[in-house]
Structure 1
């Protein structure tokens, strides 16, 4: 069954809306690539054949609750407008995420001076969400590393890929990383199949997600260094009996960082897209760790769903993040020179005629 773990909604101190600066910085670093992908590859003559309407239709898959999605949309519209020159169309923007996403806070914060019509489209981007050939440009930023579900093998105690005592594939057995890679390949194939139906001929698809270098194994390069303090926190709590070892062993984060070559093979197998650009971004972020607020904004939903029960309610979640806060006090910041961590992966594709 496909799972849904939205970012923390609302506008409180632990909300994604207040704690998404890391994603914002990564998107800003890729802004020039996004603009170039649009201005160099958008074919105006083909965009006019969209059978639904004369408007230019844009979607952000995995929009979450903002404000990053609004910044990205403004960048896209500015670049498209320059490409159309004197005949700028009306813009219709779709904000898409799981049905459990906090669309209320998203639309409460819609820019009042926006130059586009807005709509929300709930549902998983691993399946069709739009009519055939109805989209002109699809975009996704730091959402596609999320899998549709955790690979079943890593939570099966009889499987060689059983990930006992860990919450991720970093520094895990080779079979664990391979199970994650297979799930990612299946999910990305579904994503590209759906977009090949929805994008009009000549339509563009731009994606920013976490990735790793070609030639590296999943266990060698991932988000593991960022997640190590959270894993250590949960292991401590299991050893102290605060949570059960069974609960820990059945908890694995459904996130994967692919290599460019892995993505390339999936696209080529699909056969509907021309690759305009596919590359890793330089590791340019400052030395850092994930703060308790950032960690909670991203993972509270999945942690709460797994570790809460009728007896402890919210208390166990508060304990986890309180301990996490103390855990990172003794952690050294992660450096951009650390080759074991994931970096940004940017790709732009054009829908073939």
Structure 2
């Protein structure tokens, strides 16, 4: 069973909606790549049918405006390609757009749908579930998008909880300064998860469809402790360890 660690819902001061600027900037920086990928690789000749429906899935959509902004970017780029390649003259000749917002069952879908743009040019549906498995019927999606979500594992590696394992990560909240075996355990779990993800999407994508993924990473050859998040988590790790030690003495 997958473990669920959803983003904080609602619109409070600690919510994802109010604390997702970094992801928004990354997605905005990738907009040109997204548009270019659609123009160069999306096969609308294969996708065309009547009645035409273009189906988009945002996997790991969470809550807040980020997903709506990117959906608009995708639809704009797809519409431009239809105008250019298929000699479409008006919006009425474009396919209808169906957007699936998908995240864990415990995601705050109520807030997500309460904040849907009123002027949206697409139909919507929520699809709860883990993207590490199948979520949609076979060959039903024309475009799959996922941003800053695929680095989340389906579960914590079992070795990290085994006190007799060399990968037992006692006293740490991340793997930045952990022994080599800890990093390897995370790497092995990620390999399993990403294989499951691609296997599921391979069945769900329609012929001619396209998938665009934004995944955070670090330059090849660098150490885990050198990644951009480690400097932020190390002081937190130290503080939590001090609090636990103080509590154990009282």
TM-score after normalising by structure 2: 0.92
Q: How does 1:1-353 map to 2 (within 5 A)?
A: 1-48=1-48, 54-85=52-83, 86=88, 87-218=93-224, 220-221=226-227, 223-241=229-247
Structure 1 residues 17 and 221, CA, compared in 2 at 3 Å: closer, same or farther? closer
Structure 1 residue 48 displacement after superposition: 2.2
Structure 1 residue 100 displacement after superposition: 0.2
Structure 2: gaps spanning 5 or more residues: none
Structure 1 residues 242 and 101, CA, compared in 2 at 3 Å: closer, same or farther? farther
Asked if the contact 1:177/1:217 (under 8 Å) is kept, the reply is: no
Structure 1 residue 165 displacement after superposition: 0.7
Choose 173-182 or 231-240, whichever is displaced more.
Answer: 231-240
Structure 1 residue 11 displacement after superposition: 1.1
Provide the aligned C-alpha RMSD in A: 1.8
Structure 1 residue 217 displacement after superposition: 4.7
Asked if the contact 2:224/2:230 (under 8 Å) is kept, the reply is: no
For residue 96 of structure 1, give the secondary structure of its aligned residue in structure 2: strand
Question: Partners of 1:67 and 1:149 in 2: how far apart?
Answer: 27
Q: How many residues align?
A: 242
Question: Partners of 1:240 and 1:72 in 2: how far apart?
Answer: 46
Question: Partners of 2:32 and 2:24 in 1: how far apart?
Answer: 14
Structure 1 residues 49 and 182, CA, compared in 2 at 3 Å: closer, same or farther? farther
Structure 1 residue 221 displacement after superposition: 3.4
Structure 1 residue 207 displacement after superposition: 0.6
Structure 1 residues 92 and 194, CA, compared in 2 at 3 Å: closer, same or farther? same
1:310-349 Cα distance to aligned partner (Å, 9 max, x none): xxxxxxxxxxxxxxxxxxxxxxxxxxxxxxxxxxxxxxxx
Question: Partners of 1:11 and 1:243 in 2: how far apart?
Answer: 38
Structure 1 residues 35 and 128, CA, compared in 2 at 3 Å: closer, same or farther? same
For residue 200 of structure 1, give the secondary structure of its aligned residue in structure 2: strand
Question: Partners of 1:238 and 1:130 in 2: how far apart?
Answer: 44
Structure 1 residue 242 displacement after superposition: 6.3
Asked if the contact 1:70/1:111 (under 8 Å) is kept, the reply is: yes
Question: Partners of 1:196 and 1:219 in 2: how far apart?
Answer: 34
Asked if the contact 1:174/1:219 (under 8 Å) is kept, the reply is: no
For residue 59 of structure 1, give the secondary structure of its aligned residue in structure 2: strand
Structure 1 residue 202 displacement after superposition: 1.7
Structure 1 residues 222 and 2, CA, compared in 2 at 3 Å: closer, same or farther? farther
Asked if the contact 1:170/1:223 (under 8 Å) is kept, the reply is: no
Question: Partners of 1:179 and 1:219 in 2: how far apart?
Answer: 16
Structure 1: gaps spanning 5 or more residues: 245-353
